[in-house]
């Protein structure tokens, strides 16, 4: 991290401040990385790339504070260049947010990332930011969302009021990319229920508080659904009617959602639940994700901590809808070696109880020296049921190696 402290006097300041020293602090940090993927099988489509793929990405971070830290600006751009997939070569502003802190309130204006939820294997209630799915399919990577966010801090909890002018479309792998279905999603033809399209203004309200051993959050959201529906269309209406001429067009509905997330910390146990009710013109439904995480600290009289995770996902839309977690059970383990290199391992398996489908993940990371980090991830998919979403990824089992340099 590089830190620059500037002392500015009588420089583009109001007359009342010309005799007062004004200080601002800048911090520059971030990371650059190279990532390599190896797929164990050939792709389903001849248009897709081969079994190996390399990409590089950079994510610098500039932090600026002044007014005794009552005012701050955070700027975090992101840029990736991919060997084969033009859609995965993209840039984004993850965060460009000005924050002003008052006595019992905070105001954030700009582009920001907001996270809601407590569960591990599915972030069910996390609805503010759009998924950047060309990064990965686990939903962890999010696009920056423009917003005005007022937080009111009270003895009975924190209330967040969000106004979001503008919508971000989900990213999808291109025709040469892997980790996609046989049909390419044409984002250039995206359709909206809202007449204002991408300019529709969304609203959200959230209350969160800690009561004893319980962390509780409840939220309301009104706006454009981050999860699109897909319409089957043709690439070229003048071409012969065949499978290779078909494509998918995303359609974004309006929705209202109310949700609840609760985490109870009881000794070595973490009990977690997320639940929502979502109302759209197409369908109204309930969904939930619940489970626990138990951690054994210092197993076998060592410094190693081992956590065990079990979660269950349910969705009222059932197996006849394109839902990943409509009746799924997840098992996992988190291992922290607590060594000088901060070595960590997360392994998990998801089992679809309706479609007899399974997915397996393993994520490992380890620091190398003071400024490097090496990560090794593997994902395996098993499904032969055409009604299961994972069938579209059955040939995309892969190993991913990432080397990051922090500065």
pLDDT, tens digit, 9 for 90 and up, residues 30-66: 999 999 999 999 998 888 989 999 999 999 999 999 9
What is the rounded distance in angstroms from the CA atom of residue 407 to the CA atom of residue 404?
Answer: 10
Among 187, 166, 291, CA closest to 248: 187
Contact 330, 348 (CB under 8 A): yes
Q: What is the pLDDT of residue 20?
A: 41
Q: What is the pLDDT of residue 10?
A: 33
Residue span of the structural domain in which 227 resides:
2-406
**Predicted confidence band at 22 (pLDDT cuts at 50, 70, 90)?**
low
Total domain count, the chain: 1
**Predicted confidence band at 239 (pLDDT cuts at 50, 70, 90)?**
low
Indicate the pTM of the whole model: 0.90
- Reduced to 3 DSSP states, what percent helix, strand and coil does the chain have, rounded to the nearest 5? 5, 55, 40
The conformation of residue 249, written as its DSSP 8-state character, comes to E
The conformation of residue 360, written as its DSSP 8-state character, comes to E
pLDDT, tens digit, 9 for 90 and up, residues 66-106: 999 999 999 999 999 999 999 999 999 999 999 999 999 99
Question: 240: which 2 tokens?
Answer: 């012969």
* Residues sharing a CB contact under 8 Å with residue 395, sequence separation 6 or more, in sequence order: 39, 41, 42, 43, 44
CATH number at residue 330: 2.40.160.10
pLDDT, tens digit, 9 for 90 and up, residues 174-225: 999 999 988 899 999 999 999 999 999 999 999 999 999 999 999 999 999 9
**291-318: average pLDDT:** 96
Among 152, 153, 125, CA closest to 139: 125
What values do phi and psi take at 15, rounded to 5?
Answer: -55, -35
pLDDT of residue 310 exceeding 70, the answer is yes
pLDDT, tens digit, 9 for 90 and up, residues 317-375: 987 667 788 899 999 999 999 999 999 999 999 999 988 889 999 999 999 999 999 99
Q: What is the pLDDT of residue 21?
A: 44
DSSP string across 263-288: EEEETTEEEEEEEEEEE-SS-EEEEE
């Amino acid at each position: 991290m590089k830190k620059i402290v500037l002392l500015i006097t009588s420089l583009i300041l109001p007359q009342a401040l010309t005799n007062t020293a004004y200080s601002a602090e800048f911090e520059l940090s971030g990371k650059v990385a190279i990532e390599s993927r190896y797929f164990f099988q050939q792709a389903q489509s001849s248009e897709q790339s081969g079994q190996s793929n390399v990409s590089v990405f950079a994510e610098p971070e500039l932090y600026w504070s002044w007014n005794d830290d009552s005012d701050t600006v955070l700027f975090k751009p992101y840029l990736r260049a991919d060997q084969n997939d033009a859609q995965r070569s993209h840039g984004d502003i993850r965060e460009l947010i000005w924050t002003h802190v008052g006595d019992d309130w905070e105001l954030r204006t700009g582009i920001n990332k907001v996270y809601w939820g407590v569960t591990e294997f599915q972030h069910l209630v996390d609805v503010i930011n759009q998924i950047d799915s060309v990064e990965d399919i686990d939903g962890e990577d999010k696009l920056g969302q423009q917003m005005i966010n007022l937080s009111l801090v009270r003895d009975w909890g924190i209330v967040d009021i969000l106004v979001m002018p503008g919508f971000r479309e989900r990213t999808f792998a291109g025709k040469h990319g892997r980790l996609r279905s046989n049909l390419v999603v044409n984002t250039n033809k995206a359709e909206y229920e809202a007449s204002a399209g991408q300019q529709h203004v969304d609203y959200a309200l959230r209350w969160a508080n800690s009561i004893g051993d319980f962390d509780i959050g409840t939220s309301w959201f009104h706006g454009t659904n981050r999860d699109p529906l897909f319409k089957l269309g043709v690439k070229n209406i003048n071409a012969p009617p065949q499978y290779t001429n078909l494509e998918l067009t995303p359609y974004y509905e309006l929705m209202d959602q109310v949700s609840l997330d609760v985490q109870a910390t009881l000794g070595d146990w973490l009990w977690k639940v997320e639940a929502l009710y979502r109302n759209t013109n197409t369908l109204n439904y309930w969904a939930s994700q619940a489970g626990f995480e138990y951690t054994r600290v210092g197993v076998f009289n060592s410094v190693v901590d081992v956590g065990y995770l079990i979660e269950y996902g349910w969705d009222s839309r059932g197996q006849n809808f394109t839902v990943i977690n409509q009746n799924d059970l997840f098992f996992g383990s988190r291992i922290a070696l607590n060594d000088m290199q901060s070595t960590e391992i997360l392994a998990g398996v998801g089992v679809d109880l309706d479609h007899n489908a399974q997915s397996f993940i393993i994520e490992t990371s380890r620091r190398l020296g003071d400024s490097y980090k090496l990560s090794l991830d593997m994902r395996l998919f098993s499904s032969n049921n055409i009604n299961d979403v994972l069938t579209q990824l059955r040939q995309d089992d892969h190993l991913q190696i990432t080397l990051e340099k922090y500065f």
